[in-house]
Amino acid sequence: MRHYILKSTYLLLTLFVGSHVAIAQSFLRDAETEAFFREISDPIFIAADLNPTSVNMYLLAAKDMQAFVTGGQNIFIHSGLIIASDDVNQLLGVIAHETAHIANGNSVTRTDAAKIAGNTSILSMVLGAAAILAGSPDAGMGLFMAGQSVARGQFFAHTRVEESTADQSGAAYLERTGTSGQGLSQFFEKLRHQEILAQVRQDPYVRTHPLNSQRILALQKTVATSPYFHTPPNPVFNEKFNRIKAKLIGYLYEPSRTLKLYPLTDKSTAARYARVYAYHKALEWDLALAEADALIAVEPDNGYFYEIKGQILFENGRVRDALPVFKKAVEFAPNQPLVSTALGQAMVSLEDDQMMKDAIPILEHATRVDSGNSFAWFNLAKAYSWSGQEAEASLATAERFYSIGAAPQAMQHARHAMSLLATGTPQWLRAQDIFFVSQEAVERYERNQRRRRASGLTFQATSTQ
């Protein structure tokens, strides 16, 4: 099911750490979720004197209650944290806390990280940060994950002083936005018992954000003095939170588990959302469409409801039936490149001359707005190739591989695009940029591999003497 577009880090992990690495985590992308993150977090970023457009938020498919900041102004939220949160204020509390780490400058330096995590891990993180800042979030995400498995605990470990300071700053940001700080203290209360567990059993959030009773009490004292302490969660935000949480549960959990949590007696929008995904995963197409239609009946101008219905039709081979539904989704969610990509994909899949031609501007717009959208680049390259625009197809393919961090393939297609494009044109210059940046990434990786092999040989020689 592709309503949540799962962008695997597999290609990037293969490039940088070897094909034996399993895909332990994936980068989840969903138009509604990303819009929700932006809506609820921008006021906090402003309260922290940060430029909201400079702060990026990413959702990872992972069970634990984890959130962290790295690579500058990038906040990563695990799906498990959203699912474990009781309301939007608990999520907002965590976002405010992580924002404080950015505003307070509590980032690990490159030198310190190298000492803690080792050369291989820090290389992956440095390259990941560079890729995200260059407009390729998929590439950056994969690079971060490459180093995370061996160094996350050490790399993201903050001192207790930094954590307490972030608590106080986060509480101040919440107060400036008129939000109760109870959510943050409630979230920490959920993790209080984790402090006494052996490290291997602790939730990663406890290991990377050390808790203790004094810290929680200090936070509780601070938030209790806020004039908004007893203010309930914003009802609009909370309803959106409940929908996002239900979507995640329906997408990530087994259908039987989802249906136990959201039984048929629950007629709420969130419950219907969860059941759409559960039925789809269970191959109960008619039931999934019925729930989607029920959602549309309640909110006929909600583009995300049309998006999920269109996806169900598309994935069941009813592409022509899906097209008008996707068009409705774009009409009601006009500034969402992931929604536009779904429409473009459906048009391209028909392999019709006119449909290919019509899909090109839609997908071009999606990639302009979201340059890291590898799925849009893939479909755009196909449309270009079908239409005989081979140079543009090669450049779009280079963009696609660049966005997922597959540097050798990006180099290959960028070189080919340069050979077909007029020298000095904007497209030729873009292909050249991709070529040189990817070439540098490959050379750095190869140098690092040589150093690792040399270190291994030195260690072996020393051990046998």
> What average pLDDT score do residues 446-463 get?
70
Percent of the chain clearing pLDDT 70 (strictly above): 76
Maximum Cα interatomic distance, the chain, rounded to a whole number of Å: 77
- The predicted-structure confidence for 186-220, as pLDDT tens digits, reads as follows 998 887 765 555 454 555 555 555 666 788 889 99
Is the pLDDT at 159 greater than 80? The verdict is no
- Report pTM: 0.80
| Residue 425 pLDDT | 96
Neighbours of 59 (CB within 10 A): 22
**Dihedral over Cα of 204, 207, 211, 212: its sign:** positive
- The predicted-structure confidence for 112-144, as pLDDT tens digits, reads as follows 444 444 444 444 555 555 555 455 555 555 555
How are beta strands 56-61 and 74-78 bridged, if at all? parallel
Residue whose C-alpha is closest to residue 375's, from 400, 392, 347 = 400
Percent of the chain clearing pLDDT 90 (strictly above): 65
- Angle (CA) 69 74 76, round 5°: 60
Residue 268: φ, ψ to 5°: -70, 160
- The predicted-structure confidence for 74-98, as pLDDT tens digits, reads as follows 999 999 999 999 999 999 999 999 9
pLDDT band at 260 (very low <50, low <70, confident <90, very high): very high
Specify the higher pLDDT residue, 12 or 104.
104
| Residue 162 pLDDT | 81
Q: What domains appear along the chain, each with residue ranges and CATH number?
A: 5-235 (3.30.2010.10), 265-442 (1.25.40.10)
Neighbours of 2 (CB within 10 A): 14
